Amino acid sequence: MSLSNSVTTELIDARSHSNQRTEFRLDDAYYASSLKLVDVGLIASKNPQGPDAGTNSASTIYPQINGVMQCIRNIYLYSGTTLLDSVQNCAQYSAIQALKTPNQGSIDLNRDLLLNGMGFSQSPIPVDGDIGTAARKPETLCTQDQSLKAACRLGNTKAEILANNQCPIAGVEDGASGSVMLSDLLQMLQGISVLPRLPNLRLLFEWDTDISHYADLGDQKNTSLSVIRPTLVAEKILGMGDETPDLAVPYMSTIVERFNIPKAHGADVKVTLAADPLALTNGSADITVTVSAAQSSILDLRQNEPVTIGGAPDIRKAASTAADATSISVTSGSPNVVCTLAAHGFKVADVITIANSADVGGIVAGNLNGDRTITAVTTNTFTFVAVANATGTATGGGGTVSYRLEQAFAAADLNQTFIIKSVAANQETFVITLDKAANFTDAGEGGGAVTVETVADKSSITRQSHRSQAFTNKFVRELVLFNLTSGSLPAAGDRYVTQQTRSPAQVNEVLQMVVNNVNHIPDQGINSEALRILYLNSAQPSLNVPYIAMLGDSGAQRLAAQDEKKAMIYPYGALRNNFSITAAKIGKRVDDLRFEHQRTYGSRAGSHDAYVLLCFGTVARTLTVKNGILNVSY
């Protein structure tokens, strides 16, 4: 029997389908690994643009780099309940895969499989033959298929078209959709040409219908996205027997691990707080500092990091006036002076300031008024020692005597650099610790001129070490790192990609991989774009350089000006698209793996925002079947 007669192509409908997930189940049989998903795409609930409605006045589009692959969140391949292979974070993974697709052959690929997301072409031909001049943006990659131009013309202005794979999301189910070769995503299908007869083979797709993850041309009018019901195309191999043979099949598989990178710090920031921002607790050396919500966002303070307080005055307790004119008592022949003040709260050794007292029992006013150290206390009295003995037993002082606790802290105690003890969850209060305890409780002190300043040059503080769990005790072929940022792109003109499909290089970002307790790359880590590309090309096939470089007009992309927007992406903006990935070939069993990450702080938010560092790793697995029992091991 010839091979052509022993293969049948099956169109498999989904067993279940929703906007969240779609599941396919295959018969127990042998299948070629060339599984394909067709009719992949989304429907916009309100979409007045595209070939469906005849106008592109407003549009939500698939990101240029991914095409319809953007709508796939995760893919899982099961045999029963045993996970054979998977790829998670498909948007980011497919963006990396797209960069590895050479231009050779891409034109035909995209003409036949619109929105497949895996091929790119650049064309200098006119954007619209009607006007006869190239009006495309330099960063736009234009398809050479003339038939797509009318469908993708923006705003019917005939001035430009959308880039290849950047067509509007359809408004009806039979509108534009794409095809996905699953072997482009699942490593198992790349390494095994024929899937053996496995029981209860299942494919599960999870979808992404979050409209914010798709490109917006600036006038997005869609309200929601829904998933087109896809079809699985499978080639079943006939005449192979009805039993699952004993076998042991090695293959590679992709797993992903996520590391949370906190916000970076850098240049000093100084703010002036509202009046009385300092709170004291009697007997505690901790002071709580309150800042506004806006100031907390600017300062971005963290535990164990330095902060400088300035402008704080001496802190004293408010003066208390005696209730009557006979609050001071003395005894003839004794220097002890007893003062009556209800619920005064003073302690032994506190220094108080007495003012406005008259002579009492022969002790002159000058020996009563002034700073005095308390030697004994009761609830409503305290005692200090005068410099002379009383000549008679008496009470007095006058009705205007006041008692004020001497400074709890001098200005010099407060106006210095501290290490932050703790920060509230909302970052609107933080705690510093002084060298001595407060001697009274007060909810607000400090006046109206207290300043808080972060310390400049915190780059050493931002060094983070992250220990891997997912790749331990596995053979790892290579690792690919992707910076998954949360912020949107800064300019409307850059919306042909999204934060889901870009990986920006942070300011002076350094990455080090420590494999089995040995630095895997140079001691300084990957700290330049030359090293980044060198290690990327050693671990991955050659990149689609025209795409990643976004070659276009001279000047704008390579300005040597100190432009933070360009410097954040690549030095002097030499490469566009905010796309930067890091990879390294490992090629060994990993018993211990750590990532060390460091970056400095730039003036643009994108350079210091928190983000997720995605690590895609290719690891070795083995599928074994023994006496009908299936097992997958690393």
Q: Beta partners for 323?
A: none
Give the pLDDT band of residue 441 (cuts 50, 70, 90): confident
Q: Is the pLDDT of residue 569 over 50?
A: no
pLDDT of 18:
96
Q: Beta partners for 586?
A: none
Q: How far apart are CA 315 and CA 371, in angstroms?
A: 15
Tell me the mean pLDDT in the region 550-569: 36
Helix (H) or strand (E) holding 566: helix 564-569
pLDDT of 595:
94
Q: Which residues have CB under 8 Å from 256's CB, separation 6+?
A: 87, 88, 89, 93, 470, 614, 615, 616, 617
Q: 102-106, 162-166, 598-602: which has the highest mean pLDDT? A: 598-602
Backbone angles phi, psi at 547, to 5 degrees: -75, -50
**Which ranges of 222-362 does DSSP label H, i.e. alpha helix?**
293-299
> What does DSSP assign to residue 400?
T
Tell me the mean pLDDT in the region 147-152: 40
Instruction: Tell me the pLDDT tens digit for each residue of 18-55.
Output: 999 999 999 999 999 999 998 888 888 764 444 444 33
Tell me the mean pLDDT in the region 417-426: 90
Distances (CA, A) of 356 to 314, 368, 369, 374, 546: 22, 9, 7, 18, 85
Q: Which residues have CB under 8 Å from 16's CB, separation 6+?
A: 22, 23
Distances (CA, A) of 564 to 134, 461, 496, 568, 632: 30, 22, 21, 6, 49
Tell me the mean pLDDT in the region 367-373: 91
Rg over CA atoms, the chain:
36
- One-letter amino acid at 200 equals N
pLDDT of 114:
36
Tell me the mean pLDDT in the region 125-140: 35
Q: Is the pLDDT of residue 282 over 80?
A: yes
Higher pLDDT among residues 483 and 346, named by residue:
483
Task: To the nearest 10°, report the CA torsion of 423, 594, 82, 77.
Answer: 90
Strands (E), 183-246: 194-195, 201-207, 215-216, 225-227, 231-237
End-to-end CA distance of the chain: 37
Instruction: Tell me the pLDDT tens digit for each residue of 304-331.
Output: 778 899 999 888 776 677 667 888 999 9
**Residue 229, both tokens:** 């019901």
Q: Which residues have CB under 8 Å from 493's CB, separation 6+?
A: 137
Q: How far apart are CA 323 and CA 317, in angstroms?
A: 18
Please indicate, yes or no, whether the overall pTM of this predicted structure exceeds 0.85: no
Instruction: Tell me the pLDDT tens digit for each residue of 492-514.
Output: 545 566 778 878 777 778 899 99
Q: Is the pLDDT of residue 404 over 60?
A: yes
How many CA atoms are closer than 13 Å to the CA of 216, on its beta-carbon side? Answer: 16
Burial of 609 by CB count in 10 Å (0-12 exposed, 13-18 middle, 19+ buried)?
middle
Tell me the mean pLDDT in the region 543-553: 44
Which residue, chain included where needed, has tokens 């003109």? 493
Q: How far apart are CA 315 and CA 438, in angstroms?
A: 10
